[in-house]
Amino acid sequence: MIKLVNIVVRKPDYSFDEFVERWTGPHADMAKELPGLQKYSTSLPTDPERSEHDGIVELYFEDMGALKSAFSSEIGERVNADAAEFIDMEQGPTLYVEETTQLDRT
């Protein structure tokens, strides 16, 4: 399983509340349609006024091929274009990782 992790920073012309509404609403609805997507989660800071970043997104795919296919698809291109409207795509790192669970009591 491959996980894309992105530390997200909103564009300065969006308030935090406007960002959250769009990111977890219409944008999330679109992203859920990515082909091959196995799991999708977003995390928001508990104290956004003191945080340098506005959120974390985690997208899980079976392998790198599935991830690449998803983002080269028509919906993948739309997801990226939509994100670029309200997320500063130059800020925050993106990581491609293989997750190893050390403990899960959920």
| Domains of the chain from N-terminus onward | 2-97 (3.30.70.100)
| Cα separation, 11 vs 44, whole angstroms | 16
pLDDT tens string for the chain (106 positions)? 999 999 999 999 999 999 999 999 999 999 999 999 999 999 999 999 999 999 999 999 999 999 999 999 999 999 999 999 999 999 989 999 998 999 999 9
* Residue 45 CA, distance from chain mean position: 14
The token duo for 84 is 């670029």
The token duo for 51 is 């945080």
| Cα separation, 70 vs 87, whole angstroms | 19
Confidence (pLDDT) at 20: 98
What does residue 101 show for φ and ψ, rounded to 5 degrees? Answer: -80, 125
